[in-house]
Structure 1
């Protein structure tokens, strides 16, 4: 009779201890995290807080000893006795509505068409996105050549078609804002197209096939299936559109010939620049305008985000 062998249970395996960061790793993490945070603090948050403080003062920007506390006088002056403020607010609203109603939907339309695997898609994407690679200042210089009243491309085309006097697109107060909006839309369309095209690339094609089996055409599939499913991308696009409209400065600065409240082209960003670094510096006024623009931006974005997240919770 063979002896019974007892099987000993295997010793419990020791869990691998997490590797502790060495001194070199800690230095590396401190550098890659600390430097961006320091830059954000120095170049964003400190100037923002300084602007809030200076908005309650009167200062010409030369000597710190000349700073004089004025309380709410700057804000009272802005809303009552500062003529360019309300035209600037009106123009910013026009900028927002124009951008939201024309180049943004057109960019979404282009993205949907290019996602359908048409021929030369890469070439079309590159051509439409190319203005986004350029800075707004460069885009402004390009359109300044196009709008030139003497030998510009647009007036050349109109004169060839039998038009009369050349049009001063940037000098006419009734036309210059719309001319700048067209130049800005040329760049904004490519940006929206790329954002939405990235969202479409991650969309499940089975949903489109199911909609096609149910008898939906292309327009119905996009409006009832694709567009609601890309809600995160839609939120990003809306926030980007609002921010682009409120911080519009570069292209208006170039096409408007520099600072100065040019009739028809007043914007809040230009008024802030005029008062802070203009010939007659009014740091208090400029800072108060910057605070007003900051509050408007935060209120618009926060209200939209709160409303969106509330619907998602329901």
Structure 2
């Protein structure tokens, strides 16, 4: 239940998309979509023993499914025309990084990290029936968005070429997540690893700094940052000093950065100044409280050695 609540909040409210008065509706209507996807992805990763590499790859696949096939915002240049973001729609490359990247961070990975940190449980949660039930919920949630021609796809429909591109990327990502290498337990090695708080601070600084990079310069910088982050975390996570606190600090930094950005992001819906300020403050307080609580809960936790990133 915690993941079914956290995922829609993180996906649509943590960055200021909706005021606090909308939170119950977000959980009610988007819980099956975002929460269902997060539960399914976590179950797939924990059942396979693949750990965080599998979660990240499947989260990226979900991002393409959601933005490419369900609401189709990835290919629709006019997707934001009926929102407060009208006139500020980025190009395709920026949309791909923004939309899919935010789904990876906010819709899937940050909520999974928070729930696992508080409950300290890396085992699968559901049996086959429970898994099937969540799968049905997710499909119904996706169908609800796809069928909503006004608030979902907003009158847009993919071309065959666009559909083919999206499906190809999804297949590649899911296929990569299924590779046996993620299930091999690496032998912890020696070497320096930044303190979790230093690691989190660096990640937060990078997230905030990326706000300044726009256009094609921003695309190049973001791709370079993503590649560098994957390489560094792959190296550090194979070392004995890497701990669950690093995972918590890294994903928490992204969540807090999104919450800080709420002050500069107009809401999807018209909102009074007072409610907007209250919502911006509330989202920062909630994000920081969740991050701090998760970090404290993970202190001293010794996780069984598994795949990289653990």
* Fold similarity call, TM over 0.5: no
* Structure-1-length-normalised TM-score: 0.27
* Structure-2-length-normalised TM-score: 0.27
Structure 1 or 2, whichever has the larger Rg, is: 1
Task: Using CA pairs under 8 Å that are at least 6 residues apart, name the structure with larger relative contact order, 1 or 2.
Answer: 2
